[in-house]
Amino acid sequence: MFKALFGVKTTITGMLMLALFLLLPQFLPRFYVYLFAMIFAIVLLATSLNMVLGYGGMYQFHHAVFYGVGAYAFALFVIKSGLPLWLGYVIAPICSAALGLMMGLITVRLNQLYFGMLQISLGSLVWAITYRWYAFTGGDDGIHGIPLPDLLGSSTGAYYFNLIVVVTCLLLMYMIVNSPFGRIFQGIRDNPERCRAVGVNVQKQQLAGQTIAAFFAGVAGTLFVTVEGSVFPDLMFWTLSLEILIMCLLGGWFIFLGPALGAAIIISLRTFAGIYTEYWTLILGIVLMLLIFFLPEGVLGLFLKKAGSAGKREG
């Protein structure tokens, strides 16, 4: 099945990378195991945004709100429900998808920039409620010390769990974007008027795309809690949405794994830059400027372009 879906070379490369990731915790210090587990969660988050941004052409400027809602829903479920933990991993992404559906019913009627701006407003409203609702969400303090089983409570356990979930979700998203629905979605991105002319319900397709992307963002939120054992309102603040957008642009937003590479670069840069400076936002701004001027197709896009040019010269 995988050979038919991805091709022989891609399948072999993917299996080798998966084997490498499975072995890494045996050789890396605990800090790097934690860092990789966090990168896995953000990789899923950035890729979920790219489903609607790169493949759907929807200016989703506040994607972090679905990430934060998934994280909070999971944390609150674990603390307050007393039900089996695995149910939280199912219910939390459904809560994010429900929010995506509700926001989509309001925003998909608008075009591009207005869609993005209204989404920022609605997402900021959710953030404000979370930030001020001390009795339920903990307010600006967040929720800390979320109890997790020993298997997931260790950095190695969280690493393997996140790796398995992220690989599974990436496979599902790849199949979605290459399904008939995904092809129609890309057609809407390229020419929505022509899609309407042939009978496609553009708003319905966009609403479905946003709901699916919100679901996977919610999954990423549960993975964050698995690693950190806490949640806080900054998870759904608009500045995180900006970071996720930059991840997509940096890696290559018209390539499926481009956002994954962008997420790995940004998270690694933020982690190690934080050791030496407090001015991470300044560094992020410089990265964005360099990206706009020198890498409009992203790192992975440039690499594939160069590789294609080299192959043509050899041919």
Strand intervals (E) in the chain: none
C-alpha to C-alpha distances, 45 to 61, 177, 241, 266, nearest whole angstrom? 13, 16, 10, 13
Chain centroid to CA 71: how far? 13
3-state helix, strand, coil in the chain (%, to 5): 80, 0, 20
Flag whether pLDDT at 109 surpasses 90. no
In this predicted structure, the answer to whether residue 112 has a pLDDT above a threshold of 60 is yes
User: Residue 310 pLDDT > 60, yes or no?
Assistant: no
- Round to whole Å and give the CA distance between 93 and 216: 7
Question: What span, in angstroms and rounded, lies between the C-alpha atoms of 211 and 56?
Answer: 12
Q: What is the pLDDT of residue 63?
A: 95
Residue range 183-190: mean pLDDT, rounded = 92
Of 218, 223, 222, 216, give the one whose Cα is nearest residue 159.
223
Helix axes 64-80, 238-251, angle to 10 degrees: 120
Are the beta carbons of 137 and 12 closer than 8 angstroms? no
Task: Categorize the per-residue pLDDT at 301 as very low, low, confident or very high, splitting at 50, 70 and 90.
Answer: confident
Q: Residue 128 corresponds to which tokens in the numbers above? A: 């404000």
Q: How far apart are CA 74 and CA 27, in angstroms?
A: 31
Predicted confidence (pLDDT) at residue 9 exceeds the cutoff of 70: no
| Rounded-to-integer distance, Cα 258 and Cα 297, Å | 10
Residue with tokens 């690493």: 159
Task: Report how far residue 130's alpha carbon sits from residue 136's, in angstroms, rounded to the nearest whole number.
Answer: 8
Q: What pLDDT was estimated at residue 294?
A: 81
Length of the chain in residues, anyone?
A: 315
Residue 1 has pLDDT above 60, yes or no: no
Flag whether pLDDT at 312 surpasses 80.
Answer: no
Which distant-in-sequence residues (6+ apart) come within 8 Å of 70 by Cβ?
92, 93, 95, 96, 217, 218, 219, 220, 221, 222
pLDDT tier at 15 (50, 70, 90 boundaries)?
A: confident
235-269: pLDDT as tens digits: 999 889 999 999 999 998 888 999 999 999 999 99
Nearest to 115 by CA among 45, 53, 69, 26: 53
Residue 307 has pLDDT above 80, yes or no: no
Distances (CA, A) of 110 to 64, 151, 200, 206: 20, 46, 17, 11
Distance CA 59, CA 124 (A): 16
Give the closest residue to 71 by CA, choosing from 196, 235, 242, 267.
Answer: 235
**pLDDT at residue 2 greater than cutoff 80:** no
Let me know: does 38 contact 229? Beta carbons within 8 Å: no
pLDDT in tens, 285-298: 888 888 878 877 88
* pLDDT value of position 300: 82
Q: Phi, psi (5° rounding) for residue 143?
A: -125, 125
Residue ranges of domains in the chain: 23-237
Looking at every residue in the chain, the average pLDDT score rounds to 89
Band of residue 6 on the pLDDT scale cut at 50, 70, 90 = low
Cβ proximity of 70 and 219 under 8 Å: yes
Please report the pLDDT score of residue 309 as a whole number. 55
Angle, to 10 degrees, between the axis of helix 64-80 and the axis of helix 112-132?
30
Which residues touch 91 (CB under 8 Å, ≥6 apart)? Answer: 73, 74, 77
Instruction: Quote the DSSP letter at residue 237.
Output: S
User: Per-residue pLDDT tens for 68-96?
Assistant: 999 999 999 999 988 899 999 999 999 99
Give the pLDDT of residue 12. Answer: 80
Residues above pLDDT 90, as percent of the chain:
61
